[in-house]
Amino acid sequence: MAITEPIVEMEAISIEFPGVKALQNVNFRLFPGEVHTLMGENGAGKSTLIKALTGVYKIDSGTISVLGAPRAFSGTADAQSAGISTVYQEVNLCDNLSVGENVMLGHEIRGRFGINWKKTNEAAHDALVGLGLGDIDPRRPLSSISLALQQLVAISRAMVSRSRVLILDEPTSSLDANEVEGLFGVIRRLRDQGVAILFVSHFLDQVYAISDRLTVLRNGEYVGEYMTPELSRSDLISKMIGRDFSTLAALGSNRGRAVHATGKPFYSAKNLGRKGFIDPVDIDVHAGEVVGLAGLLGSGRTELGRLIYGADRPDTGEVRISDAITEVHSPIAGLSRKIAFSTENRRDEGIIGDLTVRENLVLAVQARRGWARPLSKREQGDLCEKYLVELNVRPADPERLIKNLSGGNQQKVLLGRWLATRPELIVLDEPTRGIDIGAKAEIQETIAALAGEGMSVVFISSELEEVVSLSERIVVMKDHRKIGEIVNGPDVTAETIVDLIATEGNVA
């Protein structure tokens, strides 16, 4: 495989955006008939490198050669005509058109009276057969087939334009295990036909299952190129995050901590509920305690978190904070009682993309002070300095628009926003979802450290292992009600929670 010449060769690529070096001296080679995975955390420069290759971004220095000849593409369409096709994470097809049209758009077969639909659909069928999708009728509307199949249709489209290079940018993020297997079958088939495939994925298992070669990037810098079988997973992770794996492995030590669940709880709710939203729940959180909310998607985890903070107004229940009866029926009420809530919906309810990191960070503090008393530039600067450093936000530039940060770093800023209000109870809804492994570890460490300093934490996550490793007590939710509470201990595992959810289902 390595005997042939590389089809794509990128050497010493550097790209600089205002104030950031997005890529510095990155090398990348792609050979025909191989699957080459680009690895790196969020913000490491994977997408930037792909966009540099396809000409979406202009490179500041370095060379890109395709088939030995130096090239500079002007954009996706230009790269495509040179045989480099890209399939993106979100399927970029037109669902108002038929499957066949989506495969053939721009390559329709024309006869004397314009497009010959019969031949065009036949050609689409041939392309689909080439990927083992012969049983999809090209005349069906695209919207009538599943997302996974649409992804494969997008790949068929790439094959119609006789692509020799196929870029798959996180193609598996919305597919289930069977669908991933189907996709991998197609990828292997194309590889065996000599197509060079650039694959990007966050899932290590998938990377090891499919790729022949890896290039690792970190912070926009080139770490190295490796043959997949020769690099162990822990080595790969260390190379991606630039730190020793043992930091990550040390997680899970949290449950050995002293149990705080004695004495008066900091926050205590009896029969907290809202009609049609969540059945009344009892929940206590002690100072310095991490209480996990576990349950399946849609079990009422998020709803409970929102009621605690006052994002939604509870209509039953009695809340005591520091043993005094109180009411938390609005976010402002929550904030003034030192409760903070970090949403699971980072993009829509969390960050404000067009504001800077600084503006996003000070938002909650400012909201609590009221708009009549604006924070001075200096106070804002102090807050930014403290939290950007403490939470290791990269780049640590308070004046960057937050939408230009990677997901993990946006999440850190959000966490900073709430910590800046100095809450005594913080509700974290899926703080680690969709972010890379390094940032995840950092956020988990931060949560453990906060609890260590005496803050009460309600931690919501769909990853049960994470809930088990961080929480001291776990409230288990199902069908919008609380079905149990587990005091964490050495023999509690994700299985324990799954069993509880499963058996409770039989009773109900």
Partner 1 sequence: MSILIDRPTSVSEGGSRPSLVSRLKPNVESLPTLAAVVIFVAMVVYGEVAYGRIVQFSTISNLLINNAYLIILAVGLTFVIVTGGVDLSVGAVIAISSLVGVMLANQGWNPIAVIIAMILIGSVFGTASGVLIQYFNVQPFIATLAMMFLARGLASMLSTTPERLADDSPIRLFSTEWKVIDGPKINDLVTTPNVVIAALVVLVAFLVLHRTRLGRTVYAIGGSESSALLMGLPVVRTKLAVYVISGTLAGLAAVVYTSKLGIAQNITGVGWELDAIAAVIIGGTLLTGGAGFVLGSVVGALVLGLMNVLITRDGGIPPEATTIITGAILLVFVLLQRLVVSRKRKT
CB 488 within 8 A of CB 472: yes
Question: What are the counts of helices (DSSP H) followed by strands (DSSP E) for the chain?
Answer: 17, 22
Q: Pick between residue 200 and residue 383 the one whose CB is nearest to partner 1.
A: 200
The least distance separating partner 1 from the CB of residue 124, rounded to whole angstroms, comes to 11
**Binders of partner 1 in range 118-137 (CB under 8 A):** 118, 121, 135-136
Part of the chain binding partner 1 (CB under 8 A), chosen from 72-80, 215-223, 264-272, 461-469: 72-80
Report the alpha-carbon distance of residue 352 to residue 505 in Å, rounded: 40
Which of 25, 60, 71, 88 is the binder for partner 1 (CB under 8 A)?
Answer: 88
Binding partner 1 by CB under 8 A: which of 19, 74, 95, 250?
95
Q: Segment contacting partner 1 (CB under 8 A): 112-120, 190-198, 238-246, 374-382?
A: 112-120
What are the DSSP calls for 439-482, one per residue? HHHHHHHHHHHHHHTT-EEEEE-S-HHHHHHH-SEEEEEETTEE
d(CA 423, CA 194): 57
* Cα(181)–Cα(168) distance, integer angstroms: 15
Q: Which residues of 299-331 are buried (b: 16+ CB within 10 A; e: fewer)?
A: bbbbbbbbbbbbbbebeebebbbeeeeeebeeb
Task: Give yes or no for residue 148 binding partner 1 (CB under 8 A).
Answer: yes
CA angle (395, 401, 407) in 5-degree steps: 60
For residues 139 and 422, which CB has a smaller minimum distance to partner 1 in the complex? 139
Q: Does 77 bind partner 1 (CB under 8 A)?
A: yes
Nearest to 314 by CA among 284, 344, 278, 266: 278
Per-residue contact string for residues 174-213; x = within reach of partner 1 by CB under 8 A: ----xx-xx-------------------------------
Least CB distance from residue 47 to partner 1, whole Å?
14
For position 166 contacting partner 1 by CB under 8 A, the verdict is no
The Cα–Cα gap between 188 and 197 comes to 10
- Select from 104-112, 227-235, 348-356, 362-370 the region that touches partner 1 (CB under 8 A): 104-112
Closer residue to partner 1 (CB): 93 or 328: 93
Q: Residue 164 is which amino acid?
A: R
Per rule CB under 8 A, is residue 495 in the interface with partner 1? no
Task: State the nearest-atom distance from the C-beta of 115 to partner 1, in Å.
Answer: 5
What is the closest distance, in whole angstroms, from the C-beta atom of residue 429 to partner 1 in the complex? 26
Binding-residue total with partner 1 (CB under 8 A)? 41
| DSSP bridge pairs for 200 | 38, 169
Nearest to partner 1 of 152, 443 (CB atom) = 152
Position among 93, 335, 393, 486 found at the interface with partner 1 (CB under 8 A)? 93
Q: For the CB of residue 309, give the shortest distance to partner 1 in the complex, in Å.
A: 31
**Which residue in the set 4, 74, 96, 193 belongs to the binding site for partner 1 (CB under 8 A)?**
96
Residue among 68, 63, 102, 66 at smallest CA distance from 83: 66
Instruction: Tell me: does residue 157 bind partner 1 (CB under 8 A).
Output: yes
Quick one: which segment of 96-104, 201-209, 271-279, 490-498 binds partner 1 (CB under 8 A)? 96-104
As measured in angstroms, the least distance from the Cβ of 140 to partner 1 is 6
Q: Which of 21, 67, 117, 437 binds partner 1 (CB under 8 A)?
A: 117
Smallest gap from Cβ 431 to partner 1, in A, equals 30
Task: Answer yes or no whether residue 318 interacts with partner 1 by CB under 8 A.
Answer: no
Closer CB to partner 1, residue 148 or residue 293?
148
Residues 399-438 that bind partner 1 (CB under 8 A): none
Which of 257, 307, 249, 253 lies closest to 487, judged by CA? 257
Q: How far apart are CA 297 and CA 35, in angstroms?
A: 34
Residue 146 binding partner 1, by CB under 8 A? yes
Cα–Cα distance list, 208 to 59, 184, 214 (Å)? 30, 12, 10
CA gap 54, 415 in Å, rounded: 35
Between CA 465 and CA 450 the distance in angstroms is 20
Q: Kindly state the smallest distance separating residue 235's Cβ from partner 1, in Å.
A: 33
* Residue that is written with structure tokens 């870029």 in the block: 167
CB of 168 to partner 1, least distance (A): 14
User: What span, in angstroms and rounded, lies between the C-alpha atoms of 22 and 172?
Assistant: 25
Sequence-separated (6 or more) residues with CB below 8 Å from residue 372: none
Interatomic CA distance for residues 476 and 299, integer angstroms: 9
Cis peptide, bond prior to residue 395, ω within 30 of zero: yes
**8-17 and 20-30 beta bridge pairing:** antiparallel
Task: Please identify, using beta-carbon distances, which residue of 104 and 216 lies nearer to partner 1.
Answer: 104
Question: CB-wise, 94 or 449, nearer to partner 1?
Answer: 94
The residue range among 113-121, 288-296, 304-312, 406-414 that interacts with partner 1, by the rule CB under 8 A, is: 113-121
Q: What gap in Å lies between CA 154 and CA 151, rounded to an integer?
A: 5
Binding residues for partner 1, rule: CB under 8 A, are: 76-77, 80-81, 86, 88, 92-98, 101, 105-106, 108, 110, 113-115, 117-118, 121, 135-136, 139-141, 143-146, 148-149, 157, 161, 178-179, 181-182
